[in-house]
Every structure is written in C-alpha cells, then in structure tokens.
C-alpha cells in the first residue's frame, strides 16, 4: 500500500472520492481538488454561467478570445510594492505597479514556488516541479532542462490559435531541445541564466575584491577547467527556425546586460503587440523580466526617491516605467479591455547580496517554504472585466495561471489527460471577485520533499512524527502571516483533513518523470 510522507494511504483517498476518482476528464486535477469540487458543485455551476456570459459577450465585441499577458518578475518580496507598504517608503518607488493594482485586483495571498526555476516550471506546465523531475535552480553548464514531453501553456494556447511569444529569463535549460522556440513559442528573446553570471567576469576583473564573486577565475580559465563556455548569454528563437545568439551588450554577460536586455525587450514587446493587435487571432505574452537581479539601472540610479545603495531599487524604477509603456500600448491599440494582464513575483527576496536586495515583512526568503519565500505580490488588470479596487482574501498558486489561461482560451481540452495538472482554473476569482477562488489548499515543496500544507486558514509545517503524534506545527496564517506562533495541539481538529488532502501522487525519477497513481 503506497503512502505519502504523512502516512495516509492512497486507498483512503479513493474511498473518500468515490465515483469521482474514476471519472474521465480532459484535464486531470489532483484528488483534493476533485473532493472540493464535489462539495462546491452547485455554487460553481451558477458562477460558471455568469463567467460564460461575460466571456461570450467579450468575444462577440472583439471577434476573438482574450489576449493574455503574464509578467513574471524576480525576487520581489511580499510587502515590497507601494500598495503593500513598500514602494517609495523603502526607496523602491512603484507608481505604475500601484496604479495597475488599484485599477484591478491586488492579491495579498498569491503563492509561487520557493525559487526561480521551479516557479518557471510551475507557470509553464501548471504542475509542481516534483512531478517533472526538474527540481533545482539551473546553473551554467548543467544539462538538465524542462522535458520536451511536458506540455507548456504556450503549446496549449498555440494549439488553440494564439500567437505566442516570450521575453526575459528562460532559465529552464540551455540545450536547444529545452528552449522556448521548441516549447510552443512562435518568437522568443531570452537569457539563459539568472543574474549571478553577469557579475562573474566583472568580479574577476575588479582587483579591489569588492565585487560579489571575487574568486571567479575568469572566462578563459573557467572554460579550460570546466568546459563551460560563457560567451553566449541569450538567444533569439523562432518556432521551426532555430535560434541565434543575441548580439551586443544585451547578449553578453556583464553588469550592464540586464538593463540593455530589458530595454530591448520592452521595445520588442510593444512593437509585437501593435502588430498582433491587427490580427484576427489573440496573443499570449510571457514576459519573465530580469527585475530584480543584482544589477542597477543607470537611467534610474540617481532618480528621486530611489535608494542608490540598493542597485535593485533603480532596476525596480526601470521596470515600473516599462510596465507603463506596456499598459499605454494596450490602451492606444484599443485592446486593453480584451487583455488579461497578470503580474507576479517568482519567489521571495534573496538577501545574499544585501543591501542589493528586495525585502519582505514575512519570515523567510528565497529558497524557503516559509511565507517569506513563497508568498509574493501579485496583481491582475483587465479593464471592464476585473472591477477596480479589489483586494480579495482568497489565495491562489502560480500553477493556476496555466489552467486559467487554458480556460480563457477555450482550450482546457488541449491539456494532456495522461498526467495530473496541479493548476486550478481561477477565472471565477478574476471575474467574480472576493470569495470565488477555487482553491482551499496549497502544497509547499522543498525540492522533492513536501514540507508544508496550507488548508483554508491553516498552514502546517511537516516534520517527523514522534511518539505516535503527527509531526505538525499549526499556524493560523490569516492571523499569523509571520508564522511566529505554531503549535500542534490547537490544530488537532485539522489533522485528519490535512492528511486526507495530502494524498499527492508521486513522480517517477528522472527528468522525464511521469506521475504514478495519477488517477488513484
């Protein structure tokens, strides 16, 4: 009898779900969602009627499905933006992002994975990284990547008739078979790595020893020792045509690359959108911005209100300006009301290079399954469809963006049915507002280990059981978002529900792993 780390048998879940466990779906959600769906069936059916009417009316008006833009940023912590109490009060002014938040929906309880590559897997596949076999942040020279057997949101939307393009930090593998132009994107302009390698050679060349990677031996010696060539920092890819290296400063690893890359990206994004706005097909944009990644923006380094001793503060100001350029383009083209724009950070702040760092008011940081590592700022903006001024209590996870996009595109039937999809359709939350999230649980993985579970208002940290007692510390995460007061006994009533929802199917080993007992 197979068991999870919480010691609950798969057969128990099958008994709990009854006939739902063997039902046939194009989309295969996990067991806890099916159980929740059964309890909410009547209310959700009524909501779905409203949603269908809204989307049908929109499609008649514009003659096509809605455009979708996902902006994924880097290492921006919960509390960092102005609308959460940060912004100019912390030397990182964010007027455009605050405007976006207040004109749409601002989320206080949005969740990502603990670090950058895992979150990118989650948004691309709608699946926890533990299901895919790719569990770790990738570094130059590694041969792992997002398996071509995984089905990305770009592939789903492309099959549904969307134009698809991505700009930014790919970070899902260096080899061509892992690249975005081979993972469903018509066009891609992407960097291979995170921001650290931009500073390796600069640290070597700076003889003062003050740069962050002073022990790096230099490109030539590094290549001689390891066989790892760092001469290419990014590529331009086109579906069916392969890729070519980005030329100039934007494609060469250096402290100035990221600003040049971001400036070129926003110029391309706005030009691409202007072109595709005329098409009879909708579009999908995935902008995985390098904001914030160690480097400064020279344009905003000495701007009013910017903390000049935190390089990332000026980069935040640059990103804020570029989001304004994007929003202005959507309005000028008359397509803002047919475009969902979601902005979310990939994980909490990385304090390793403090004071060049984001910040969070919560406990923990990047790499942790504490709230400071996985609870991130997020906003959704869709004029005429998302009512302004909303700040729902509902929580959701980055995997949900996969399934929500498929729903909006009318493409849930294109999600593969031979594997579990963890993402939950959150169209109801976006269009109907507070109280309409379809998620009442979240699993927090640290690599391949299930380390915590959120169930309604409770977050449970999991450890080894002792003396017959479950290894659980219960936090009321609404009352205690800082996770300061966790105890077992006040949460005893939630032990069984948490164990039941923790019947999470496991993966096979390896990079092309597949779920076992996916339909159990």
Residue 400 placed within a domain: no
The band of 133, judged by pLDDT with boundaries at 50, 70 and 90, is confident
Residue 94 lies in a domain: no
Cβ atoms of 221 and 190 within 8 Å: the answer is no
Residues 452, 478, 17, CA angle at the centre, nearest 5°?
55
Average pLDDT, the chain: 89
Alpha-carbon span 114 to 369, nearest angstrom? 6
- The confidence score (pLDDT) of residue 295 equals 86
Structure tokens at 167: 């700009």
Specify the CATH number for the domain of residue 506. Answer: 3.30.1120
Q: Does residue 5 surpass a pLDDT of 80?
A: no
User: What do you get for the CA distance between the two ends of the chain, in Å?
Assistant: 12
pLDDT greater than 60 at residue 508: no
For residue 225, tell me if it sits in a domain. no
For residue 198, give both structure tokens: 């931009």
- The stretch 330-338 carries a mean pLDDT of 98
Instruction: Note the Cα 247 to chain centre separation in Å.
Output: 28
| pLDDT tens-digit readout, 284-329 | 999 999 998 888 899 999 999 999 899 899 999 999 999 999 999 9
- The pLDDT tens digits for 401-441 are 999 999 999 999 999 999 999 999 999 999 999 999 999 99
Q: What pLDDT does residue 26 have?
A: 66
The answer to whether position 35 is within a domain reads yes
Q: Is 472 domain-assigned?
A: yes
Per-residue pLDDT at 507:
41
User: Which distant-in-sequence residues (6+ apart) come within 8 Å of 180 by Cβ?
Assistant: 154, 166, 170, 172, 188, 190, 237
Asked if 94 contacts 84 with a C-beta cutoff of 8 angstroms, the reply is no
Calpha distance 55→337 (Å, rounded): 12
What mean pLDDT comes out for the span 479-486?
Answer: 93
pLDDT at 287: 98
Phi/psi of residue 50, each to 5°?
Answer: -65, -45
In a domain, 164, yes or no: no
pLDDT of residue 84: 96
CA distance 314 to 54: 40
Residues known to be catalytic: 116, 171
Assess whether pLDDT exceeds 80 at residue 4.
no
The answer to the question of residue 118 being in a domain is: no
Task: Taking residues 175-196, report their average pLDDT.
Answer: 95
pTM: 0.91
Q: How many Å apart are CA 382 and CA 66, to the nearest integer?
A: 10
Output the pLDDT for position 7: 34
Indicate if the pLDDT at residue 231 is higher than 90: yes
Round to whole Å and give the CA distance between 114 and 398. 11
Give just the sign of the alpha carbon dihedral 292, 295, 297, 302. Answer: positive
- Mean pLDDT, to the nearest integer, of 482-493? 88
Residue 266, token pair as written in the block: 């926003």
pLDDT of 136-170, one tens digit each?
889 999 999 999 999 999 999 999 999 999 999 99
Residue 373 lies in a domain: no
What's the pLDDT score for residue 12?
Answer: 30
Amino acid 471: pLDDT: 80
Q: For residue 45, what are the contacts with CB-CB under 8 A and spacing of at least 6? A: none
Structural domain that includes position 469: 10-49+442-516
pLDDT greater than 70 at residue 8 = no
Q: What percent of the chain has pLDDT over 90?
A: 77
Specify the number of domains making up the chain. 1
């Amino acid at each position: 009898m197979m068991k999870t780390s919480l010691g609950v048998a798969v057969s128990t879940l099958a008994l709990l779900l009854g006939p739902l466990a063997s039902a046939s779906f194009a989309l295969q959600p996990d067991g806890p969602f099916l159980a929740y769906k059964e309890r909410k069936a009547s209310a959700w059916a009524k909501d779905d009627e409203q949603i269908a009417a809204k989307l049908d009316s929109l499609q008649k008006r514009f003659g096509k499905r809605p455009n979708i833009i996902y902006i994924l940023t880097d290492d921006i912590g919960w509390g960092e933006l102005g609308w959460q109490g940060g912004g100019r009060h912390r030397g990182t002014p964010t007027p455009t992002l605050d405007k976006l938040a207040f004109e749409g929906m601002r989320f206080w309880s949005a969740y990502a994975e603990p670090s950058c590559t895992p979150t990118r897997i989650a948004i691309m596949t709608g699946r926890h990284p533990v299901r895919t076999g790719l569990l770790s942040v990738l570094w130059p020279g590694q041969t792992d990547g997002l398996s071509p057997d995984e089905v990305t949101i770009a592939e789903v939307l492309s099959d549904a008739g969307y134009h698809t393009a991505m700009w930014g930090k790919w970070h899902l593998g260096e080899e061509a078979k892992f690249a975005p132009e081979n993972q469903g994107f018509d066009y891609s302009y992407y960097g291979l790595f995170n921001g650290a390698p931009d500073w390796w050679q600069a640290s070597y060349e700076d003889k003062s020893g003050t740069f962050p990677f002073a022990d790096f031996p230099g490109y030539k010696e590094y290549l001689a020792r390891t066989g790892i060539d760092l001469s290419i920092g990014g590529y331009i890819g086109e579906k069916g045509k392969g890729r070519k290296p980005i030329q100039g400063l934007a494609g060469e690893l250096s402290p100035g690359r990221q600003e040049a890359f971001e400036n070129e990206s926003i110029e391309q994004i706005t030009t691409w959108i202007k072109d595709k706005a005329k098409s009879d097909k909708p579009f999908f944009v995935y902008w995985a911005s390098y904001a914030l990644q160690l480097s400064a923006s020279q344009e905003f380094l000495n701007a009013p209100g910017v903390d000049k001793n935190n390089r990332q503060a000026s980069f935040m100001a640059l990103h804020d300006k570029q989001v304004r350029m994007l929003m202005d383009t959507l309005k000028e083209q008359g397509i803002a009301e047919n475009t969902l724009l979601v902005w979310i950070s990939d994980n909490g702040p990385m304090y390793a290079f403090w004071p060049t760092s984001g910040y969070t008011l919560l406990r923990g940081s990047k790499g942790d399954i504490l709230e400071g590592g996985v609870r991130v700022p997020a906003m959704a903006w869709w004029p005429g469809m998302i009512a302004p001024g909303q700040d729902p209590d509902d929580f959701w996870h980055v995997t949900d963006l996969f399934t929500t996009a498929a729903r909006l595109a009318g493409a849930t039937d294109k999600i593969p049915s031979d594997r579990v999809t963890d993402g939950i359709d959150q169209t109801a939350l976006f269009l109907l507002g507070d109280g309409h999230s379809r998620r009442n649980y979240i699993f927090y993985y640290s690599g391949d280990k299930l380390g915590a579970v959120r169930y309604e208002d409770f977050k449970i940290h999991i450890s080894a059981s002792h003396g017959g007692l479950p290894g659980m510390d219960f936090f009321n995460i609404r009352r205690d978002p800082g996770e300061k007061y966790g105890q077992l006994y006040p949460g005893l009533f939630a032990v069984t529900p948490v164990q039941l929802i923790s019947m999470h199917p496991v993966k096979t080993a390896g990079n092309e792993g597949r779920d076992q007992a996916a339909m159990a």
